[in-house]
Structures are given as structure tokens and as C-alpha cells.
Amino acid sequence: MFASIMSVDPPVNKHHEKVKREAETWIIKTLKLKEEEARKIPKMDLAYVASIWVPDADEEGLRMVVDWLYWIFFFDDQFDEGHLKDDPKGAKEEISATLSIMTSNQAFIAVDEYPLRHVFQSTWTRFQTRTSPALQKRWVKSLTEYCDGLLGQVTAVHDTRELNTDEYMTYRRLSIGAFPCHELVEYAHGFEIPQVVADNDSVKVCRTISTDLVWLQNDVLSYRKDLIQGVKHNIIHVLRNQNLSEQQAIDEIGEMLDERYREWYRALAEMPIWGEKVDRDVLKYIWGCQAVALGNLHWSYKTGRYLGAEGEQIRTTRIMTIPNL
């Protein structure tokens, strides 16, 4: 997993520790987390992944990204393991209410009324203060597609329908929630790529590869946890349904990762030249796409969410013991 473009030792934002403490205090208070849940927040250290995504951001920019990460963590959990995981109707209602926050006529949401929606509205308001309408439009599109992916996941679970690889990849690319992170990189670092760049095929490929790396990493490293909890939306489960063993499935994923590394370099080779100013921002954007995958990978081994205290050992030995269930 740490090969090719993932072999880089990523820089970490200098404001990490300060923002971490402030964001943790705020989210615990805002969501009124119970003691057991509150104790988990510092260990999650979502500020760490954000600090890799936007290493050069100021405190304000980094803080918004961290707060957004807490929002998506708790929002996503409702559809992953929570009360909406097999409830398409309820999921659609929650998504509709959330997306409506980004419309111009949305009223202020009090923290006591809908705490999680209040968090999202706060991040959206802060995003608007430092971005153009064009970037806001792109972020809304990415967030809408993310929610479409969640609905696809919930529907598949509800229908108890086994998906083939292509079907799974289609919704997983969206439901992992990585596409909106690319606009967050622009927001926090204070630059914006023109629409002609965002629409370019090579840029789109880099964006998709960044997203694929995130969900492939996530599915491998969360597999043991998913197996114990009976969660089936995992590429390893999909591949095993095609008569592959667990090791064969992992080997197949290794091939998928290698192919995406090759695609990345092909996309860079075919990237147009737009001129000094635009090219400078394009390089920042492409690095941001790479950093999103790097941050997810390093965070997954560091925080213990998926691997407990074995993260460093598993990274070194490349061996993860799977329970025999």
C-alpha cells in the first residue's frame, strides 16, 4: 500500500496539535457526546488526517476541514452501522434535509435542534466565506454525489442483493466521501482551479485515482472489523463471492492498486499546459489529490480505528490475522 505515489513521507500541518484540541472540545460539546463516546474522540485524531491533506493551511482553514471530518464521520456512521443502514426511506429523508442546508433559503439550524446538521451548516458557512460561487458549486456537486453513493449502499443492504465488482465500485467511489475532500484542499490552501481544468480528463483521472486509493485502502484495513460486525459492503467480500479466497482477494486488490499507480503517471503525462499561474495551482491540486490518499493511509495505521494497537506491526510485516468466524 505504501508503494509508488504512496511511498512519500507526507508533511503534517504545524497547527495540528492546537487545532486538534480545540476541534475535539467543540465536537464533544456540540454533539453532546456521552462519556464513552467522548473518550474515543482524541484517539480518532481526525486532525491528523486533515493536517496531511492541507499541510500549508492556516489555523482557520485546517480547523474547518477537521470539523467537516467530524461531521462526515458521524453522518456516515448512520448509514454504515447505524439506524439508517438498511432504511432507504429514512436515508433519503436525512440526505435531503442535509443537502438542503446548502440552498440559499436555508434558515439557521440551532445546535439544540439538530446538532449534526448544525455542524454541517457551520462548515458550509465557513466554506462560503473563502471561496467563489464556482468552487461552492463544485463542492455541492461532490457532496451530492457522495450522498447518492450512500443511498446506493443503503439500497443494496436493504435489498440483500449481492453486487458484482463493477456495481460495487460505482457506488463505493461515491460513498467513501473522498471527492468533496479535493475541494476542501482548494478552500484551505486558498487557491481555485478554473472550471476548464476541473473538466479536463487528466485531472478527472487523478481525482478518481485518489478516491479509488482511499476506498481500496479502507476496505482492506477495515476488513477484519467489518467481518466481526457482519458488514458486507467491502470489496473483499465482493471478490470472495466470485470464489476467491481472502488471500486471492487481497492479491487482486494489490493489482488494482498497482494499475491505479500506472494510470496516475499516464494522466500526468497527458496533462495539458495552461501557463505559469494556472499550472502552479494545478500542481497544488494534483498534490492535494495525492495527499488525500496519503492522509487516509497513514491515519488508518496510526489511530487504531481498524487495527487497534497492531498498526505498526501490520505495516512492517504486511500480515493481518483474520478471525475464523
The tens place of each residue's pLDDT in the chain, 325 residues long, gives 999 999 999 999 999 999 999 999 999 999 999 999 999 999 999 999 999 999 999 999 999 999 999 999 999 999 988 899 999 999 999 999 999 999 988 899 999 999 999 999 999 999 999 999 999 999 999 999 999 999 999 998 888 878 899 999 999 999 999 999 999 999 999 999 999 999 999 999 999 999 999 999 999 999 988 888 888 889 999 999 999 999 999 999 999 999 999 999 999 999 999 999 999 999 999 999 999 999 999 999 988 777 888 888 888 898 888 887 6
Q: How far is CA 317 from the centre of its chain?
A: 26
Q: Is residue 75 part of a domain?
A: yes
Q: How far apart are the first and last CA of the chain?
A: 26
Q: Is residue 193 part of a domain?
A: yes
CATH number at residue 292: 1.10.600.10
Domain that holds residue 222: 4-317
Q: What local confidence, expressed as pLDDT, does residue 324 receive? A: 77
Q: What local confidence, expressed as pLDDT, does residue 162 receive? A: 83
Q: Do the beta carbons of residue 77 and residue 33 sit within 8 Å?
A: no
Nearest-angstrom CA–CA distance, 92 and 200:
32
- Per the structure block, which three cell numbers stand in for 37? 463516546
Q: Is residue 322 part of a domain?
A: no
Please compute, for residue 219, the number of CA atoms within 13 A of its CA located in the half-sphere on the CB side.
28
> Is residue 252 exposed (0-12), middle (13-18) or buried (19+ Cβ within 10 Å)?
middle
Q: How many domains does the chain have?
A: 1
Q: What local confidence, expressed as pLDDT, does residue 325 receive? A: 64
Q: What local confidence, expressed as pLDDT, does residue 306 receive? A: 79
Nearest-angstrom CA–CA distance, 32 and 36:
12
- Per the structure block, which three cell numbers stand in for 1? 500500500
Q: Is residue 323 part of a domain?
A: no
Nearest-angstrom CA–CA distance, 1 and 30:
36
